[in-house]
Amino acid sequence: MATRQHLHLNIAEVFSKTPGPRSRAEGEHSAEEFLETILLRRFDEAVACDAILIVDLDGGYGYGTSFLEEAFGGLARLRTVETVRNHIDFKSDEEPYLRDDVFTYIGEALTGSSKRRR
Amino acid sequence: MGAPQHSRIHFWRAGKVDSSRPVPATRRRRRRSAPTGSPEGPQPGDGVQVPVAGLAVRRLGREGCIGACGWLQFIIAMCRSRDFDVSGAGYALKKLWVEKEHLRWQEIRTRGELTRRRISQEKKRERNREKSGTPRLRTQRRKDILPRTEVEAPAVFSLVANPEGTISCINRVRQAGRDHHVQIRLENISALGPAAVALLLSVITQLEMAGTSVAGNYPNDAILKEILEGTGFFDHVRRPGPSGPTRKSGRMYRLGKSRQVMPQTAKELSAFAMKLLTGTEQKHGPSYALLMETMGNTFDHAARTSLEHQQWWATVYHDATRGRACFTFIDHGVGILHSFPFLQRIRHWPDVFQHNGEKLQRLLLGQIPSRTREKHRGRGLPNAYDTWVKGRVKNLVVIANNAYANAEEQAFREMAVDFSGTIVYWEI
């Protein structure tokens, strides 16, 4: 089985060490801003070359639930849950539980009225 | 003569007598029914006297217009004429008052007046609504001459151990501060919690307390005095005389002007706590996440209207004796249980919950789904509880309106006192 190429994205390095709230209106360094300016572009690159985007969550001061949900759940809502699961992975040595949390957010991104909207 | 001068509605005052025009020597009374052009009727260029009781209208230089059309038409025509003189116009007014045209005009005018009055009253109510709670000039003046009132703090001044007594005391301070200067007596307290100090500070620095002098004394107990000094309380209030060296065990932040979520504040508080606990400045992800969530919830839901945003306080205190860092987040908004999203959620389960404590418990456990059934919404408080369950934070306490939840003691109850806002307290 061929090993797939890995692309790396460290949020603390490319975006902010202090990730903020869900939306731009709520404050600076928001998940909405991160998704639109960085994550979406890097994810599409990974999908285009059939690679896995490794998102490194270390280096920052922490992540609010809203930030992680809006960034990665929002990505699943813009693309599809399956595509995101196939092309993204997470790394966090400082807070290992974050990886499972984010995959939960991706899995539950399309529920309720979000699902109907699609 | 120039162009005809049209009168306005005050026709009995409008127009002018052309003094240059010669007045006919003979002023005869003419019958109303006299036709124009007849020998007895008004002749072009003649003056006209109208034979009405108490009314003498002299019209100069115009054709007569006394006809069967009625007095109103006649008077209007007179008003539109170039030169006329009206004296004793009372009858004409009286006549006008019963004319159909005038009644209609009067009705429209009355309607307009009623509409204007209603709009004016609505505007006045709106102004009063905006001003309510903010001290006016008169109130401020009165505060100078009003007496000082004393509020005694409960023996256990702690939101964790004695939430009802502490909130009752804080409510008393808030209520008395509207028209009294307040003296808070802390000398007899036997226990002091950092969350209670944060709550006290958040209340006495509120806008509605502007102009009110709030003072207080120190606890007699030296340890409690040290706690009060260490919380950072005196970074925000004045104290008489020079202060002795105090160990900085705490920090208190008030939100900035933008009232937005402030990641920098969350970072500083969590890093400060970790520095006091471990000696090195490092991150504490769960506390950072909790601060971000509570700030976001306050920004989104705490304000009474969608246009304003509620202020908040975030504090941390290092309790050296227990080796714990205590975080407190306070907002004086509507409170979770009265917030619009929560009310929308529980609308479909009106009689399920026995009391507000149970509502808060279900909310923490994530058992009240969002109204849109979207699982990714409303994760803030369930995640806070989950963080406590997984042992990343300790002693989680949430107070919202009159509901109290203590995760450590598994106590979820409705309090006898009401707190307008939300308090989230945890330790690491």
What would the pLDDT profile of B185-197 be if each residue is shown by its tens digit?
Answer: 888 888 888 888 8
Cα–Cα distance list, B136 to B67, B132, B223, B247, B250 (Å): 65, 9, 41, 40, 35
pLDDT of residue B412: 87
B59 and B172 housed in the same domain: no
B344 lies in some domain: yes
Residue segments in chain B with a per-residue pLDDT below the cut of 70 = 1-72, 74-98, 131, 133-145, 240-247, 249-261, 300-310, 349-350, 369-378
Q: Could you give phi then psi for residue B84, rounded to 5 degrees?
A: -155, 165
Mark yes or no for CB contact B379/A61 under 8 Å. Answer: no
B421 and B291 housed in the same domain: yes
In angstroms, the first-to-last Cα distance of chain B is: 98
pLDDT of residue B46: 45
pLDDT of residue B198: 87
- Could you give the residue ranges of the DSSP H alpha helices within B132-191? 137-145, 163-176
How close B327 comes to chain A (CA, Å)?
16
A33 lies in some domain: yes
The helix (run of H) or strand (run of E) holding residue B191 is strand B191-192
Indicate the pTM of the whole model.
Answer: 0.67
pLDDT of residue A32: 87
Mark yes or no for CB contact B263/A29 under 8 Å. Answer: yes
How close B351 comes to chain A (CA, Å)?
24
B121 and B208 housed in the same domain: no
B278 and B392 housed in the same domain: yes
B302 lies in some domain: yes
Token pair for B6: 């049209």
A86 lies in some domain: yes
Mark yes or no for CB contact A111/B380 under 8 Å. Answer: no
Query: What is the tally of structural domains in chain B?
Result: 3
Kindly list the residues of chain B whose beta carbon comes within 8 Å of any beta carbon in chain A. Answer: 258, 260-264, 266-267, 270-271, 283-289, 292-293, 295-296, 299-300, 370, 372-376, 379-380, 383, 390
The residues pairing with A89 across neighbouring beta strands, listed in sequence order, are A54
Token pair for B344: 């929308």
pLDDT of residue B284: 85
Question: Which residue of A23, A33, A57, A65 is the best one to mutate when testing the B interface, meaning the one whose CB has the most B CBs within 10 A?
Answer: A65
B302 and B336 housed in the same domain: yes
A72 lies in some domain: yes
pLDDT of residue A12: 87
CATH at B156: 3.30.750
A89 lies in some domain: yes
Residue segments in chain A with a per-residue pLDDT below the cut of 70 = 1-2, 111-118
pLDDT of residue B213: 81
Search chain B and give the residue with CA nearest A23: B296
B195 and B225 housed in the same domain: yes
B174 lies in some domain: yes
B394 lies in some domain: yes
Rounded Cα gap, residues B201 and B173, in angstroms: 11
Is this complex's ipTM strictly greater than 0.90? no
Tell which residue, B189, B121, B117, has the closest CA to residue B153. B189
A73 lies in some domain: yes
Tell which residue, B146, B161, B222, has the closest CA to residue B194. B161
Rounded Cα gap, residues B428 and B411, in angstroms: 20
Task: Measure CB to CB from residue A27 to each of B262, B267, B373 and give the nearest one.
Answer: B262
Query: What is the tally of structural domains in chain A?
Result: 1
Question: Which residue of B292, B299, B309, B372 is the best one to mutate when testing the A interface, meaning the one whose CB has the most A CBs within 10 A?
Answer: B292
Say if residues A39 and A78 touch (Cβ distance below 8 Å). Answer: no
B134 lies in some domain: no
B123 and B148 housed in the same domain: no
Q: Which residues of B touch A62 (CB under 8 A)?
A: 266-267, 270, 283-289, 292
Task: Measure CB to CB from residue A62 to each of B283, B376, B383 and give the nearest one.
Answer: B283
B218 and B196 housed in the same domain: yes
Do the strands A6-10 and A52-56 form a parallel or antiparallel pair, or are they unpaired? parallel
B405 and B265 housed in the same domain: yes
B94 and B215 housed in the same domain: no
Say if residues B342 and B336 touch (Cβ distance below 8 Å). Answer: yes
How close B392 comes to chain A (CA, Å)?
11
B208 and B303 housed in the same domain: no
pLDDT of residue B256: 54
Helix, strand or coil, per DSSP, at residue B251: strand
B135 lies in some domain: no
A5 lies in some domain: no
A3 lies in some domain: no
Rounded Cα gap, residues B283 and B275, in angstroms: 9
Side chain identity at residue B377, one-letter code: R
Kindly list the residues of chain A whose beta carbon comes within 8 Å of any beta carbon in chain B. Answer: 16-22, 26-29, 60-67, 69, 73, 94-95, 97-98, 105, 108-109, 111-114
B99 and B183 housed in the same domain: no
Per the structure, the complete domain to which residue B183 belongs is given by 143-237
Rounded Cα gap, residues A105 and A97, in angstroms: 13
Search chain A and give the residue with CA nearest B261: A27
How close B367 comes to chain A (CA, Å)?
15
Per the structure, the complete domain to which residue A103 belongs is given by 10-117
